[in-house]
Structure 1
Amino acid sequence: MSEEAQLRADVGQMLIVGFDGAPTQAPAPIQQALNRGEVGGVILFRRNVDTIAQLVSLTTDLHRQAQGDLPPWVAVDQEGGRVIRVREPLTPIPPMRALGQAADQRAVARVSEVLATEISVLGFNLNFAPVLDVDTNPDNPVIGDRAFSSDPERVARAAAGFMVGHHTAGVVPCGKHFPGHGDTLQDSHLTLPRLMHDEERLRAVELFPFKRAVGAGIPMIMTAHIELPVLDAFHPATFSPRILQGLLREELGFEGVIITDCLEMKAVSERYTIEEMVDLGLDAGLDIFLISHTEAKWRAAFERLVARGKESAEVREKIAASAARVRTLKRDLLGHWPRPFEAPGDLMDILGCEEHRQTTAPFFAGTPELGQDPTELDA
């Protein structure tokens, strides 16, 4: 393989992208990008789901399109509670707050395994969960009951159980939103939140569940589009070398994959071009850029990454290191993909089955109506 071909293959592993519509086969641009290795995976939202049969057809096609020995990521935000991309006939999953209140790691692991098992048979191999944010601000418009608790210790313990359930079912978990979105007053889908806490508070509360998750071997962490002036007065966390390299990599010792939250969220998209985000992300040490909607933007990100790699041996080394982390994670945790999927009719033996519903039912006792999905702008 030529140096340029290797660079383009490495860059492809640094992109997960999305598209509109609910087809039975991947749109032509996605098929071509997967065929050529120009993207490493795809994220699906509620907008991509019509029926179970349609969804299984789509995810099966996505897996078939990828070339080489590495499967693509087929990712989803299937947290439970309000943030659910695939609903009935899947087993209802309670808000994570209900699991945190139970303070029972084994029960959390069982519910997590139900969730992961059902999305796995639908073709998903990466779930952007658990939420590791600490719910300390009742006026937070976007976290709330998505978090396990307002107690950092409870968040850490519940998240550990959640990770076990996903690993058991063969789905990669991704902790979010580093370094902690739980105490903000703004929604990063709409604007750039700012946290003014000092480092002592951050380490005691916001960072505590992430530190524990890193110690427990969480394989992937998603960044938050938030400002923490005490750590970096110039860049949001997503683009901060101090926060991602200095804090997450060096201080906490995280060796896994760092992925952005969606780069089309207004917190960052109204402040930077996609090319600027790529440049800042490379400097900060990001491994995967998540671009959930616009083809022109993910193509521009790909070309910018390639161009930066051609300009500098140092940047090529950064890109190669990120691609190596992604490939290692795929080889270590996705060795069973692509798997043969059951016929849609057979899935009903798994999706929403009585055993799964009995596992989750106790956590709905006393749970209020779920209300609106706070991430609906990405759905």
Structure 2
Amino acid sequence: MNRHGPFLFGIICCLMVLSGCFQSILQGNSKDESDTAPAMTTPLKIEPVIVEPPKIVISPIDEMIDEMTLAEKIGQLLVIGVDGTSFSDEMDNLIRNYHVGGVIMMGRNVSTMQVMLQLMNDMKKANEPNKIPLFMSVDEEGGRVSRLPAGIAKLPASAKIGKQNDETLSYSAGIYLAEVLHEFGYNMNFAPVLDINSNPKNPVIGDRSLGADPELVARLGVATMHGMMDNGIISVVKHFPGHGDSVVDSHKALPKVETTLERLRNVELVPFQRAIDEGADAVMVAHILYPALDRDYPSSMSKAIITGLLRDDMQFDGVVITDDLTMGAIMNDYTIPEAAVQSFIAGSDLLLIVNGYDNQINTVKALMTAIEAGDITEQRLNESVKRILTLKEKYDVSNDTEEQVDVDKINEKYSEFIVK
């Protein structure tokens, strides 16, 4: 045996021992697995994750709309004129049973201060059983368009105020309008006029406009709007998209204005866009045919103008009200109910119907028929009702009555004006 023999023999012996140990371990494991029940491992308990659906918050106004009947919703779309200076059965029926959204006081309703107060208070009292208070509205521009009784100072024509070119004065005019209208219990005024006096042959606007410069009309008109809004009166700017360039009185016939959209944007629409940008709550749409925008329908019945131009392009999301649908511009070519339905389809919210008890009743019926036939969806109806109720809530419109008019307070307020 060589000198490495003992060493190699030792290594071989060690390997043989290790091999036996490994075999014994393997055999032992095999025996354990076959002869002994496997140890149970406690499974991991996974609790199910419950994902709560997002909570749908329903506003009080949405809840109110859900609870309203179809007749109550339709009634909210109407602002009506009434006859005479005292409360009548017709007024009671329209307010109590047809749930009209508002009333406009016209010259034929003007009497003494106390008689006017009594009429307005009686209408509010008739509305008390209803869920929603009335818009009590008026055209109080000053100048030749005024519905104030004798003894109350009224504003001069807008043209005279426009000549002052004073935003503070114009804002004060809005404050004064708010003060005097609150005394009688009004909450809505169809003013200021934002039309541009761009056509000297215009028979209906003239000195009702602040002037011929779009920028001046925008600045002063919006200041007056803010004066009313800041003092709790809803300001309805008018007559969109502009009545200043017409040569026909829409009270008698339909004006037609041949102009381009570009000119409208540069002139007539300037004050309206400014008012919208500064938070206008309501816009009145005129009865004027603009063939460049819509060859078939006047503005007050045109989807291209109300929805396309006013809502989509100019981003107005407030309340749209028509000018009086009983004017010649409409009545010469349409029945009042069909004009009202078309105007609502076009995008209006409030339908102003100054004349005719039958016109008012038949319009309610026509709207009901259009909804039942699917021409107007209830979703579309709810959109307008929500705008109307939101506006009433914003201004805290109520059925509260007024006991008397403080003439001294009003006339003292008026004395603050200095209009040369």
The letter of the residue matching 1:208 is V
Matched, 1:325 2:325: no
1:84-137 residue CA offsets vs partner (Å, 9 max, x unmatched): 011421122011112222121111111221122111111111110010100011
Partner residue in 2 for 1:60: 121
For residue 21 of structure 1, report the CA deviation from its aligned partner.
Answer: 0.9
Per the normalisation by structure 1, the TM-score is 0.90
Q: Is the 8 A contact 1:80 1:94 kept in 2?
A: yes
**Cα displacement (A) at 1:46:** 1.3
- What is the match of residue 345 of structure 2? 283
1:44-92 superposed Cα distances (whole Å, 9 cap, x missing partner): 1111011000011111122222234432011110001110011421122
Residue number in structure 2 paired with 1:17:
80
Match of residue 307 from structure 1:
369
CA contact (8 A) 2:96 2:130 kept: no
* Partner secondary structure for residue 221 of structure 1: strand
Question: Residues 106-117 of structure 1: matches in 2 within 5 Å?
Answer: 106-117=168-179
CA 316–195 in structure 1, closer or farther in 2 if over 3 Å, else same: same
Return 5+ residue gaps in structure 2 as ranges. 1-63
Is 1:214–2:282 an aligned residue pair?
Answer: no
CA distance in structure 2 between the aligned counterparts of 1:349 and 1:340, rounded to whole angstroms:
20
Partner residue of 2:99? 38
Runs of 4+ in 1 over 3 A off after TM superposition: 1-5
Q: Which residue of 1 aligns with 2:416?
A: 359
- Verify the 8 A CA contact 2:124 2:400 in the aligned structure 1: no
Q: 1:276 Cα shift?
A: 1.7
1:70 alignment partner in structure 2: 132
For residues 85 and 341 of structure 2, the distance between their equivalents in structure 1, rounded to whole angstroms, comes to 33
Paired letter, 1:44: M
Give 1:236-275 correspondences, 5 Å limit: 236-275=298-337
Q: In the TM superposition, what is the alpha-carbon distance from 1:336 to its structure 2 partner?
A: 5.5
Deviates more, 1:64-73 or 1:290-299: 64-73
- Write the distance in 1 (CA, Å) between the matches of 2:403 and 2:280: 29
1:82 aligns with 2:133: no
**Matches of 2:285 and 2:162, distance apart in 1:** 22
| Residue in structure 2 matched with residue 372 of structure 1 by the alignment | none
Q: Number of residues paired by the alignment?
A: 356
Cα pair 2:185 2:401 within 8 Å, conserved: no
Structure with max Cα Rg? 2
User: What's the % identity of the aligned pairs?
Assistant: 36
Going from structure 1 to structure 2, the CA distance change for 1:318 and 1:145 (only over 3 Å counts) comes to same
RMSD: 1.8
Question: Relative contact order (alpha carbons < 8 A, sep ≥ 6): 1 or 2 greater?
Answer: 1
Instruction: Show the 5 A alignment for 1:160-175.
Output: 160-175=222-237
Cα separation, 1, equivalents of 2:97 and 2:67: 13
Q: Is the 8 A contact 2:134 2:397 kept in 1?
A: no
Q: Is the 8 A contact 2:183 2:404 kept in 1?
A: no
Give the aligned partner of residue 101 of structure 1: 163
Deviates more, 1:185-194 or 1:272-281: 272-281
